[in-house]
Structure formats: C-alpha cells, structure tokens
Amino acid sequence: MNATDGPRVDFRSDTVTKPSAGMRKAMADAEVGDAVYDEDPTTNRLEAMTAELLGKEAGLFFPSATQANLAGIMAHCGRGDEFIVGQTAHAYRDEGGGAAVLGSIQPQPLPNEPDGIIDLDAITSAIKPDDFHNPITRLLTLENTFNGRPLPEDYVKEATELARSRGLATHLDAARIMNAAVAIGREASELTGRFDSISLCLSKGLGAPVGALLVGAKELVGRAKRIRKTLGGGMRQTGVLAAAGIYALENNVQRLREDHDRATRLAEVFADFPELGAGEARTNMVFLSPDGVDMSAFSEFLSERGIITGGAHGKLRWVTHLDIDDEAIENVRRACKEFFGR
C-alpha cells in the first residue's frame, strides 16, 4: 500500500488538526465587529471566558501562542532586562529569539530536567544582584506541559514562591495546559493560578485553526495590548476566529482524554518493537529513541503508507489529536510489523 491508496494520517503535531463541521458552522455564524475598537462581541466573549477559565482578570486574543508569549514577556520586562527560561523551552528555543530580537530582553537559559523543571538552586543562582553591570532579572518563565509531561504541582508552588520572594514576576507558557488539566484531573485554573500571566494555544489539541490567548491582571493585559499592536497583532473582525476558540473550549477539552488514550495504545504498539526505544505516553505524545534503526528508511516506509511523523536529534515524536482515530493506530501497528518483518 502507498499513500495514495488510503487516508493520510499525520502524527507530527496536534497543530495539523482541521476544523470540524461544528466549528466551521460556529465560525460562519459568528457575530463580528472591529476588534481593534473592542467592538467584536465574539472576541470579547472569548477573552472573558478564557480569563475566567484560567483564573485571571482579563484576556487578550492573539494570532499565535508565539506572539502571546512574546507580548507577555515584553509586558513584564523592559529593554535590557532579563528573563529566566529553560534552555529547551519553546519560548527560548522555538520562537525565533523574539524577546531578544524585538524586545531587547536578555534570556537567561537554564537546563531543563527531563520532567521540565528548572532546578530551584539554579534559578536562585541565576538571579542577578542589583549592580549596574548586570541586567535586571524580572521574570521566571515555565512551560506546561513540557514534552507532553504536566509539570509537578509541588514544583510549581516552590518555583513561583521562590520567584515572588526575589521580586520576580512569573509567566506560564501553557500552550497545552488543557492536556495537563485533563490528564491529572484538575481544573486548569488550579494549575495556572500561581502565575502572573499565562498563554494558551487554541490551535493545538483544542483543534482551532488559529489563535491564542494571553491572560493576567487588567493592567498587564493593557500593556500587552499596546505591545500586540506594535507586533502587528491588532486584527479586525476576529470574531470568525474567536468563534472557533469558543467552540474548542466548550467542546474539545474533555475529549483530550481520547488523545491521551490513543497515545497510550500507540506506546503499547511500539513496545512490541524494542529497537524503536519507545517511552511511555506523555498525555498525547510518545517519543521514540531508536537503536540500530535506519530512521530515514523507517520514516520513508511509513510515509509511503500514508503515516507522517516528525522528530529531531535522533528521536521521533508522535502526537495524537482529534484527527487521529483508532484505525490510524492499527495502521501504525501493521506498518511496524511489515517493516520489521514480524
């Protein structure tokens, strides 16, 4: 079988989802206005409901989580200031260096442990003394989930208390916070309440085609709104997009359990092939660290069968989402058995 003989299933990321029929109808029916004038009722509703959902005063709609993170960091930090961030965190490694390039804000990257935490002693040591030779350390940024793992709640408490005791604000890159909340059975606000600002992505597992929110105190969100305009994120009749976000939050949060269950079944498939070096499922992700496998040949073999994967640094990352069904998992099983001759 080749890719033309059946459906193409894409495991690269949960960003590849397509809007459902219900979401498209919500978008088509959306009431709209000029959002730059704060006159788009659907966008206003999305901002308010997201702020309430994450336990904050106000919210602001952005085209992307990258821009929401950047505006959040810039709202906390001025030119020449510094933020502490994990060296493999998305806000440091995968967002084009925006804080430095556009905000003149110095990142202070620190090693992430496998579960996503940053050592508390390392954070303490990285906070600069009040000396004119140094940038002013303003902000601690964490990420939840991290490579699919929810951050340990005890760690979040300790890290945010440390930051607050040293006069630092805190920002949470919460692109997949709903995955974390569903996985551990908590309300999202319980996982975000200790942070001063939070970014939430709508276009990953929640299934919206575009969009993200930044939430926090009204004053901070007000600063971020000015920054958003500078970054080119001021849009007009955004209600069409906001309606997709509302639909996602109302319909696609609890269904993330299905993604997690399918990731678990996918890990079980890979466990039958030890050479793939599969780890356990982490919410909706499974990572492979193959040993003695020609990864280019394996990926090409899968692609010929309509199975698209992604990865880097010698690993493959498999991500389940609302466009991955049970049959897709069985297709992977069949392809692995064929590749390895079993």
Cα separation of 266 and 324, whole Å? 11
How would you label 12-44 residue by residue, b for 16+ Cβ within 10 Å and e otherwise? eebbbbebbeebeebbeebebbebeeeebebbb
**What pLDDT score does 100 carry?**
97
Identify the structural domains of the chain with CATH numbers, from first to last.
3-16+255-339 (3.90.1150.10), 31-251 (3.40.640.10)
**What pLDDT score does 315 carry?**
81
3: left (phi over 0), alpha (psi -120 to 50) or beta: alpha
CA-to-CA dists, residue 292 to 11, 122, 295, angstroms:
22, 36, 9
Predicted confidence band at 262 (pLDDT cuts at 50, 70, 90)? very high
**What pLDDT score does 342 carry?**
62
Residue 245 phi, psi dihedral angles, 5° rounding: -65, -40
CA torsion through residues 195, 107, 117, 322, sign: positive
Whole-number percent of the chain with pLDDT over 90: 93
> Residues 298-327: pLDDT tens digits?
999 999 999 999 876 668 899 999 999 999
> Residues 211-247: pLDDT tens digits?
999 999 999 999 999 999 999 999 999 999 999 999 9
Asked if residue 77 lies in contact with residue 139, where contact means CB atoms within 8 angstroms, the answer is yes
**What pLDDT score does 223 carry?**
98
Instruction: Report the pLDDT averaged over residues 195-210.
Output: 98
Question: Can you read off the two tokens belonging to residue 251?
Answer: 């319909």
**What pLDDT score does 291 carry?**
87
Question: Can you read off the two tokens belonging to residue 238?
Answer: 């955004």
Average model confidence (pLDDT) for the chain? 95
∠ CA 56-58-62 to the nearest 5 degrees? 115
> Residues 132-142: pLDDT tens digits?
999 999 999 99
Helices H / strands E in the chain, number of each: 14, 12
CA-to-CA dists, residue 116 to 81, 148, 274, angstroms:
24, 10, 26
Predicted confidence band at 6 (pLDDT cuts at 50, 70, 90)? low
| Helix (H), strand (E) at residue 171 | strand 169-173
Name 173's bridge partners: 143, 199
Instruction: Report the pLDDT averaged over residues 148-175.
Output: 98
CA proximity to 44, closest of 30, 54, 65, 64? 30
Cα Rg of the chain, angstroms: 21
Give the number of other Cβ atoms within 10 Å of residue 301's Cβ: 15
**What pLDDT score does 4 carry?**
47
Cα separation of 264 and 254, whole Å? 17
Residue 26 phi, psi dihedral angles, 5° rounding: -60, -40
**What pLDDT score does 314 carry?**
64
Cα separation of 44 and 214, whole Å? 13
Predicted confidence band at 295 (pLDDT cuts at 50, 70, 90)? confident
> Residues 13-64: pLDDT tens digits?
999 999 999 999 999 999 999 999 999 999 999 999 999 999 999 999 999 9
